[in-house]
Homo-oligomer: A and B are copies of this chain.
Amino acid sequence: MYVNKEYVEEKRKVIQILEQQRIILSASEKENVEIADFGLKELEKQGLQLIVYINNDFYCAKELILFPGQTCPEHRHPPVNGKKGKLETFRCRQGEVFLYVEGERSSSIDARLPIGSEHYYTVFQEVKLKPGQSYTIPPNTLHWFQAGREGAIVSEFSTTSMDEYDVFTDPRIIRKQKPL
């Protein structure tokens, strides 16, 4: 997992952002705030912060925190061990998020592609989510998302999460080590 000492400050920032929105974390949740830079080492540009509330054999619930303009790179959740890929519902809690999924390209898009990584973004059907708005992404469907100017908090409800099997378009990305 790409959580290391250099991200202590970002972890603190995430906890503060959530507290401002009256989302209170338990001590162990605070400890387990996940800072994912996907191995790209440009967290503010391409990265994601997460809290996992629950992840069992049936369902998963997370809070995703995005810094202003931050992008979660394009990926899909493939079938694993005979199980369909993850089905997931995003619900915007705060801020604004621009989500892109497979399908007809939108005539114009609000997100700005991360400079230097433009080639690794290939789906452009835009779904804009404001607080209270939801969207469900089918299994094994390419998607990526970017926060608006204020950053965003997105609740994610889904089937079981197995992040280590995620397939990213950018071959440089390592999400998590696969279990041995």
Contact = CB atoms under 8 A, between A and B. Distances in A.
Interface of A: 21-27, 29, 53-54, 56, 58-61, 87, 89, 91, 93-94, 131-134, 136, 155, 157-159
Contacts of A159: 58-59
Contact of A155 (B26, B53, B59, B94): B53
Nearest to A51: B132
Given A53-B89, A54-B89, A134-B54, A59 B158 contact: yes
Given A21-B22, A26-B132, A131-B24, A58 B58 contact: yes
A102 to B, nearest CB: 19
Contacts of A58: 58-59, 87, 159
12 contacts: A22-B93, A26-B132, A26-B133, A54-B89, A54-B136, A56-B136, A58-B58, A59-B89, A59-B159, A61-B61, A61-B91, A61-B155
